[in-house]
Structure formats: C-alpha cells, structure tokens
C-alpha cells in the first residue's frame, strides 16, 4: 500500500484519502442537518406542540433551521467582534447585550421564516405563539450536536 492508503477490513476501500476542507465542511453540515432532523422529528412525535406533516417537510425544515442558525451565529460573532475591538466598559456591555439580543431575537425571525416557507406544514404552538417550544427545539438541537462532537473527539 502507498503512504496514505489504509485498509482496516475487507468491507472498506483499499485506499482512504484524507478529506480536504470542502469535504470536511460537507460532512460537518450533513451531520448537523441529520442531527437536527432527528431532534425535530422526535419533538414532532412526542410533543403535541410541534406538528410536521411529512418526513420530507421535516428534512427541508432541518436544512432551513441549520442555515438560519449558522447565519445567526455568524451575525452574532460579527457584531461581537465589532464591540470587542473597542475598549471600555460600555463596549463590553454592548457586546454582551447585542449577543443576547441577536440570539434571542433570531428565534422570532426563524419562526416567521418557517411559517413563511412551510405554512401549516410545520407549526410550533404554545407560549408566545410557539417561540418557547422553538427555543426548546433549538437548544435540544445544539445540545445533540455538541454531544455528537464530544463523542467523536473522544474516539480519536
């Protein structure tokens, strides 16, 4: 075998090439969407507050949620970097306040985006027109993603 070829057993290919950056990002986002899909469907199955009409709709909703969550995190990091680059206690306060405002306010935007894209095919009900349930779903998604990452890192 050559330098980067590995064969663990007969069921794996004779050569395993190390992933480039694009492949690593693909795997990262694929796993995130699949984790979100599982969490979303578990909520739909075991909670009367989350309703999804079909599996394909939940897959599209998981993709949309992942995209909106990544966009929210990117915006939060950008705004935090803006305030972090400036000295002073007021800037520190504004950094944390803006992070809270973006992270909390984004849930309303996400809920409206889901309603706009999916209509009645995806619905979150309950307190504050479903925002509380959406926050619980998102927290569960982030916790599940973190758990999977920690398990993966421990295997190394």
Token pair, residue 138, equals: 């998102």
pLDDT digits (tens, 9 = 90+) for 75-92: 999 999 999 999 999 999
> What integer pLDDT is reported at residue 128 of this predicted model?
85
Token pair, residue 103, equals: 């992270």
Q: What is the mean pLDDT of the chain?
A: 89
pLDDT digits (tens, 9 = 90+) for 89-144: 999 999 999 999 999 899 999 999 999 999 999 999 998 888 999 999 999 999 99
């Amino acid at each position: 075998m050559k330098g980067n070829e590995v064969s663990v057993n007969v069921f794996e290919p004779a050569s395993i090439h190390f992933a480039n950056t694009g492949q690593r990002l693909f795997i990262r986002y694929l796993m995130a969407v699949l984790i979100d899909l599982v969490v979303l469907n578990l909520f739909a199955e075991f909670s009367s507050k989350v309703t999804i009409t079909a599996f394909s709709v939940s897959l599209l909703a998981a993709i949309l949620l992942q995209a909106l969550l990544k966009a929210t995190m990117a915006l939060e990091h950008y705004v935090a970097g803006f305030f972090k680059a400036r000295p002073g206690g007021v800037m520190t306060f504004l950094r944390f306040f803006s992070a809270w405002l973006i992270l909390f306010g984004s849930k309303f935007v996400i809920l409206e985006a889901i309603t706009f894209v999916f209509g009645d095919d995806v619905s979150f009900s309950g307190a504050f027109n479903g925002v509380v349930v959406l926050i619980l779903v998102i927290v569960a998604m982030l916790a599940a993603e973190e758990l999977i990452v920690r398990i993966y890192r421990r295997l190394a």
